[in-house]
Amino acid sequence: MHEMALMEGIVEILKTAAAENQLTKIRKVKIVVGKMTMVYPDALQFAFSACLQDPIFAETACLEIEERNIQATCRECQCEFEAKDALAIFCPKCESFAVELLSGREFLIDYIEGD
Amino acid sequence: MQVQLGKEVLADNHRLAKENQQLLANHGVVMLNLMSSPGSGKTTLLEQTLTLLKEQLSLAVIEGDPVSTRDAERIARVGVPVVQLNTHGGCHLDAKMVREALQHFDLTKLELIIIENVGNLVCPAEFLLGEETRVTILSTTEGNDKIVKYPTVFRETDLLVITKLDLLPYTDFDLNLVHTDLAKINPTLPVINLSAKTGEGMEAWLQWLKALVKK
């Protein structure tokens, strides 16, 4: 549901980008989704398949989704670490919760391929 | 041919949100984004809040709902300017809708605008509206596990209000567990417990709002 609404916005961005780069057909879209983002890759994939009827896409167009891990730095001891659990993001060394997220909140269109 | 974009999907929304923020800053108006599940008591809390504050602050409300004008009608009865936004099934408000709603207010006469977002703990967390502050509501009848299930909204909020405190004895809700769970995601988050129905705890909430406007 939510991913469908997001995908409509993505298609608009793709159409503008295609026009700006003289592409008439998009063959591939690569999207980056952080694991702290409320975007579910499977639902996004489904929403993409529903948008394929748009003439901007080649019949065989595909969506690649790269999930990005949650990386953070500790404000107390400055160590950099990867958080496995989106709920408990704390420093593995000093156990501080005062952390700064470096990645995991991304939601961006990395690149498109087309002709 | 490959074309590098590196474009944030929500970039346009974030840009509009920044413009909203600037517009409000120019008029010295504070905007608050109120988020929660459906049925947590947002509108009841607003009715009581506006009734108690409307003589002291000049307020307005933006109501977000998939359909209907029921909430706006309830707020209008309190005598506060209100705009109803219908998302037509959509699960959240976005910055563009809020921009349109702002045009209905005389910003030169307002101090505080409260947005009642669509009842939903998922999508509203992703869409900046131009708010200065986010307040998330959790009601005692929803159960403790909301914080664990929807960490993003509880991580990116400035205040947590626990509502329906009067119903606490009839539920398994554990106020201590809220603090244990928050310690994992947002340890410095202030929490206010209240019941809009009995008035218990309302004073702390009103003081928090007044401090926000005077800041």
**Phi and psi torsions of B107, nearest 5°:** -65, -25
| Inter-chain CB proximity A111 and B4 less than 8 Å | yes
Q: In the predicted model, is pLDDT for residue B121 greater than 80?
A: yes
Q: In the predicted model, is pLDDT for residue B76 greater than 90?
A: yes
Low-confidence ranges of chain A (pLDDT < 70): 1
Stretch B69-90: mean pLDDT, rounded?
A: 92
| Inter-chain CB proximity B152 and A38 less than 8 Å | yes
Please indicate if any CB of chain B lies within 8 Å of the CB of A2: yes
- pLDDT value for A96: 83
Please give the full DSSP string across chain B, using - where no structure is assigned. Answer: -EEEEEEETTHHHHHHHHHHHHHHHHTT-EEEEEE--TTSSHHHHHHHHHHHHTTTS-EEEEEEESS-SHHHHHHHHHT--EEEEE-TT-SS--HHHHHHHHTTS-GGG-SEEEEE--S-SSGGGG---S-SEEEEEEEGGG-TTHHHH-HHHHHS-SEEEEE-GGGGGGS---HHHHHHHHHHH-TT--EEE--TTT-TTHHHHHHHHHHHHH-
Confidence of residue B183 (pLDDT cuts 50, 70, 90): confident
CA distance A83 to A107: 18
Q: Using only the alpha carbons of chain B, give its radius of gyration.
A: 17
**Phi and psi torsions of A46, nearest 5°:** -65, -45
- pLDDT value for B91: 83
Nearest CB to B123; choose among A2, A88, A110? A2
Decide which of B109 and A3 is more confident.
B109
| Inter-chain CB proximity A9 and B10 less than 8 Å | yes
Stretch B166-188: mean pLDDT, rounded?
A: 93
- pLDDT value for B28: 97
Tokens 């109501």, residue?
Answer: B63
**Interface mutation vs chain A, best among B4, B7, B154, B157, most A CBs within 10 Å:** B7
- pLDDT value for A49: 96
Looking at every residue in chain B, the average pLDDT score rounds to 94
Stretch B192-201: mean pLDDT, rounded?
A: 98
- pLDDT value for B124: 87
Which residues of A fall within a CB distance of 8 Å from B183? Answer: 97
Decide which of A97 and B14 is more confident.
B14
Say whether A57 sits in a helix, a strand or coil.
Answer: strand
- pLDDT value for A1: 58
**Interface mutation vs chain A, best among B1, B3, B93, B184, most A CBs within 10 Å:** B3
| Inter-chain CB proximity B5 and A17 less than 8 Å | yes
Contact B143, B91 (CB under 8 A): no
Task: Provide ipTM, 2 decimals.
Answer: 0.86
Decide which of B126 and B142 is more confident.
B142
Stretch B21-46: mean pLDDT, rounded?
A: 97
pLDDT in tens, B50-68: 999 999 999 999 999 989 9
Which residues of B fall within a CB distance of 8 Å from A13? Answer: 5, 7, 9, 12
